[in-house]
Every structure is written in C-alpha cells, then in structure tokens.
Structure 1
Amino acid sequence: MVYGWNFAVALVHQIYIHEMGHLLVAKRKGIKMTNAIFIPFVGALIALKEEPKNANQEADLAFGGP
C-alpha cells in the first residue's frame, strides 16, 4: 500500500526469477526439488527432495538464485 501496485508486481517478479534460478541449477545438476511455493508477505520456498552430493553442488544451488 505504501509503494503501490507497480512495486508489488516488480517485487513478485524478482522473487520468481530468483527462485527459477535455483530450480534451473538444480535441474542441470540432477538434484530433485519441489516446485516454488509463494508465501504471501514472506517470499517463496523451494524444498530439497535430496541433498546435494558435495559442497560444489550446494554452492552452485546457492549461487543459482542471485
């Protein structure tokens, strides 16, 4: 309500792009994840169905978002 609808739409779009980055990297690395779940007024959540095999995969997942 403070910044208006344009800001809200842009913010949700940025969250979407960020989460899709994580999903894209996970798909390329073969790591199973859930779909992105958007939580109003909080952000989004993606859960791992399996753990990364090593620290490099975990780092790739983390850097996939930004």
Structure 2
Amino acid sequence: MEIDEQRITEPGLVILDVAAADEDTVHTVMEGSSRRWATSGVTPVWRTPGGPGVRSRVYADVRRPDTAR
C-alpha cells in the first residue's frame, strides 16, 4: 500500500498500518491510538486474498492529544 503524501505534509503526522490475526485485535489497537492522539478513528479492515490476517490504516497527529476524552 502506498503512503498518501498529502496526509504527512509536516512533522508529527503519521500513518500507522496495522496488521493482526483478527479484526478484534485491529480494532483494539485503533481505539487505543485514538485515546492517545488525534486520529482518523477506526477505519475499514481488509483481508488480502490468500494472505494471513487482516489489515487497517490509521492517520494520526501525534503532536496533539485526543480531545474527545
């Protein structure tokens, strides 16, 4: 998967690609990230045909703590 350069135009912006054995684990990681930083939130989970596990992607601003707490 390619990195969307528009999403990382300045320091502190990151893209986290998450790979796990199951969807529950991916959702746990994404929810934990959103409690720590401002993120895109839980994004769709996908499977690669013939590949193991599931994947997802999260966009985060690690400069700012999440304000939704």
Same fold (TM over 0.5): no
| Structure that is richer in strand per residue | 2
| Structure that is richer in helix per residue | 1
Larger radius of gyration: 1
Pick the TM interval, shorter chain.
0.3 to 0.5
- Normalising by structure 1, report the TM-score: 0.43
